[in-house]
Structure 1
Amino acid sequence: MLDDTKALLRQLIAFPTVSTDSNLAMIEFLGERLEAAGAKVDIHRDPGGAKANLYATLGPDRAGGILLSGHSDVVPVADQNWSSDPFAMAERDGLLYGRGTCDMKGFIAASVAMAPLLAERATGRPVHFAFTHDEELGCLGAQALAQVLRTREDRPSVAIIGEPTMMRIIEGHKGCYEYSTHFTGLEGHGSAPDRGVNAVEYAVRYVARLLELREKLKGRAPADSRFDPPWTTINTGALTGGVAHNVIPGKARVDWEMRPVQTSDADFVKDDLRRYCEHELLPLMRAVSPDADIVTEVIGEVVGLVPAEPNEAKAILMELTGANGADTVPFGTEAGIFQSLGMSAVICGPGSIEQAHKPDEFLAVDQLDQCLAMLDRLSERLKA
């Protein structure tokens, strides 16, 4: 089974499913593999038609099944120094190199390679597969799939998201809210700055407000927070604008994110920024140019995974892996989206997040083997 899984992973790595490009070829390939194993496969395209989610089911037509979830997209390789072709998997010294090996095509390969065995044993409880698009861009595919699953009576009750955790059980992570705030000012000659509205300077004031809020959030950390750091964080990713030294910039953009430990923190930040723009920044800008504006674009608001009890998913994985507890992580996943549908959810998959997004990304063969062993034991729980 390990050799078959490595061969399948090699095929998946060869699909260059960078988030900016289509994932259709890989999704159709996976659909064919799962149909060959006897699965009922549904492929849901995005509005543009270039990307798709796959949702497949093996076993009886009933609610309460177990979902195996992974995202099909990978981050870019541009400007990264790889020692081998990132889309041609290479095995060296027990490590499998290639873009997406650990994040997270390794788990997808293991799940699909096990499909024939899962089909044979899923006589009492169904097993589902959810392979999504655009996780790296804000979990867009999972959010679209969630809308489909809300209408289904055979919705799973347990979700296992195979992000790389070194096969540790993860029961919680922060949310991930990403925004781009656009500033429209008034251009003019740099020798008369008071006659224009400098969009970059107002963007700088906005960033200064973000820094103030970042400090205030430290005092809002729940006393029992298990996250590291325990408070909601804010990060400014980029500030762009302007065309020349001597031109008052009429456009600017701030890309920023926050990772809330609780939804009340997100509300606190958004309400403060709205008041700050409405009552302080915009009146100053519009005193010079009535058309000046500040607009915040929501790139993605992905809910966190909240540690919960009881948690059937955690109980199952503890039994399957022999772990005596579960942890939390700072990075975001699609798990909270499935939890919001009423499923118990955990994250558990092969590989280390330390390798994700880096050049020479790799997955250790022994991690892949451990994942296959877990799925084999899981299959026993599907019997009538």
Structure 2
Amino acid sequence: MTNDLRPVLDILNRLIAFPTVSDQSNAELVGFIAAYLDQLGVHAQIVPNASGEKLGLIAQIGPSVEGGVLLSGHTDVVTVEGQAWTSDPWVLTHREGKFYGRGTCDMKGFLALALAAVPQMLAAPLTRPVQLAFSYDEEIGCLGTQPILAALDAHQPRASAVIVGEPSLMTLVTGHKGGLGLKTRIMGKAAHSSRPDIGVSAIEAAARLIQWHQKETVQSQSQTTDNGFTPPYSTAGVGTIHGGIALNTIPENCVLESDIRFVPPDTAEDWIARYRREVKIVEATMIERHAGASITVDVPENIPALRPDPNGVAAQLVRRITEDNDDQMVSYQTEAGHFQAAGYSTVICGPGSIEQAHGQDEFISAAQLRHGQAFMKSLIQTLC
């Protein structure tokens, strides 16, 4: 493998042209990848969601034995709506050593690197396989990860290491925060604002729950340790609130959407249990005034933290390839937490910077793509 970027850029150009925003189908992109692999003699297993509109993909190069390395990435991207791009976000554009386009950094650059390396994988005398796992709907809660994990269990021997190629400037990331998305629906009792004695305000109940988020963050901050995360404590905050119909009406309904980012060893289960206990207390005070009052909590997003495992198989593998002996922690979430929760030794290492992800004029540099090429070359050699 040389430093010629043309094979990578040819594939990246095609991948960027598919506007795989999470509210749209990614079927055409996955079809392109499957056809590309098929031309090389590699069978791709398609993993559809329940509707068939979203597709994941798994594939394997090399002997069908355990102990290989799995390269994980997602095919969806965030919207460009409301952003003032200086070039077409769905056309790969080169300017001054940078390649612009939605998804170049997060994370179609990594997908292109992995796919461009497949011919070299096929030509190498691999003694352990390289596995590919490309998912959908990562950007809206890692919804495509569990079907991918089930497909891997059913169709491929178990890998000894998983590398999630999220943008990390090709440095080793061994830990990230976990994440919860909560949707809280509050039902009170409407009344004229002149008679609050006969109404039950859903917004007042929501205010108590908002305060709970604030208090939990402050308490977590007071217990902070030097753990490598920024900030080094768990955080809870309300992102949206909708309720009420008029200023002179006691609000009957209110909906909160909140976000919790927790540091290991905190768990999602602990945070959900604590929140539900507070909800029960608030709900009880409402029911005292109106038997029909209620609060329900849904958990549309639950992403496990990636717990640091600096001596794990995946970390040691990436250390050998990158010569990076640091243990970097990040505050964003990835599919890595799900892979680790399923028993895989997992780390993050991919091209590009998270600072470019999701913004206007997203880009990946030629230097980062070359770093990625060198990484793939060393990985192949390690598995021979």
Regions of 4+ moved over 6 Å? none
Question: Residue deviations 1:138-175, cap 9 Å, x none?
Answer: 11111222233344560211111110111111111111
Q: Distance in 2 between matches of 1:324 and 1:9?
A: 30
Q: Distance in 1 between matches of 2:266 and 2:364?
A: 37
Q: State the partner residue of 2:77.
A: 74
Distance 1:155 1:85, change over 3 A: same
Compare 315-324 and 198-207 and name the one that shifted more. Answer: 315-324
Q: State the partner residue of 2:36.
A: 33
1:347 aligns with 2:336: no
Alignment root-mean-square deviation, CA: 1.8
Q: State the partner residue of 2:106.
A: 103
Q: State the partner residue of 1:157.
A: 160
Q: Distance in 2 between matches of 1:101 and 1:227?
A: 26
Distance 1:306 1:151, change over 3 A: same
Question: Residue deviations 1:202-255, cap 9 Å, x none?
Answer: 11111011111111122344x452222222111221112223323332221111
Q: State the partner residue of 2:47.
A: 44
Q: Which residue type is aligned with residue 77 of structure 1?
A: V
Q: Distance in 2 between matches of 1:136 and 1:308?
A: 25
Q: State the partner residue of 1:200.
A: 203
What secondary structure sits across from 2:355 in the alignment?
A: helix
Q: Which residue type is aligned with residue 256 of structure 2?
A: V
Q: Distance in 1 between matches of 2:254 and 2:343?
A: 41
Please, what TM-score do these two structures have when normalized by structure 1?
A: 0.94
Map of 1:367-378 to 2, 5 A cutoff?
A: 367-378=368-379
Distance 1:246 1:89, change over 3 A: farther
Please, what TM-score do these two structures have when normalized by structure 2?
A: 0.94
* 2:178–2:268 contact (8 Å) kept in structure 1: no
Q: Distance in 2 between matches of 1:72 and 1:294?
A: 36
* 2:73–2:164 contact (8 Å) kept in structure 1: yes
Percent sequence identity over aligned pairs: 38
* 1:4–1:113 contact (8 Å) kept in structure 2: yes
Q: Distance in 1 between matches of 2:318 and 2:128?
A: 16
The Cα of 1:266 is off from its aligned counterpart by 4.1
Structure 2: any 5+ residue segments left out of the alignment? none
Candidates 124, 130, 133, aligned match of 1:130: 133
Q: Which residue type is aligned with residue 240 of structure 1?
A: H
What secondary structure sits across from 2:241 in the alignment?
A: strand
Q: State the partner residue of 2:22.
A: 19
* 1:150–1:341 contact (8 Å) kept in structure 2: no
What secondary structure sits across from 2:296 in the alignment?
A: strand
* 2:216–2:235 contact (8 Å) kept in structure 1: no
What secondary structure sits across from 1:353 in the alignment?
A: coil
Map of 1:2-13 to 2, 5 A cutoff?
A: 2-13=5-16
Q: Which residue type is aligned with residue 165 of structure 1?
A: S
The Cα of 1:10 is off from its aligned counterpart by 1.3
* 2:210–2:237 contact (8 Å) kept in structure 1: no
The Cα of 1:264 is off from its aligned counterpart by 4.1
Distance 1:194 1:20, change over 3 A: farther
Question: Residue deviations 1:287-311, cap 9 Å, x none?
Answer: 3432221111111111111111432
* 1:171–1:328 contact (8 Å) kept in structure 2: yes
The Cα of 1:348 is off from its aligned counterpart by 0.8
Q: State the partner residue of 1:359.
A: 360
1:381 aligns with 2:382: yes
Map of 1:176-255 to 2, 5 A cutoff?
A: 176-221=179-224, 223=225, 225-255=227-257
The Cα of 1:51 is off from its aligned counterpart by 0.4
1:60 aligns with 2:56: no
* 1:241–1:249 contact (8 Å) kept in structure 2: yes
Q: Which residue type is aligned with residue 251 of structure 2?
A: P
Compare 132-141 and 27-36 and name the one that shifted more. Answer: 27-36
Question: Residue deviations 1:321-377, cap 9 Å, x none?
Answer: 232333111111111211223222111111110011111111111111110111012
Distance 1:70 1:39, change over 3 A: same
What secondary structure sits across from 1:112 in the alignment?
A: helix
The Cα of 1:101 is off from its aligned counterpart by 0.6
| Number of matched pairs | 381
* 2:351–2:368 contact (8 Å) kept in structure 1: yes
Q: Which residue type is aligned with residue 344 of structure 2?
A: M
Q: Distance in 2 between matches of 1:179 and 1:207?
A: 12
What secondary structure sits across from 1:226 in the alignment?
A: coil
Q: Which residue type is aligned with residue 238 of structure 1?
A: T
Q: State the partner residue of 1:258.
A: 260
Distance 1:153 1:144, change over 3 A: closer
Map of 1:84-99 to 2, 5 A cutoff?
A: 84-99=87-102
Distance 1:122 1:219, change over 3 A: farther
Distance 1:152 1:11, change over 3 A: closer
Q: State the partner residue of 2:115.
A: 112
Q: Which residue type is aligned with residue 229 of structure 1?
A: P
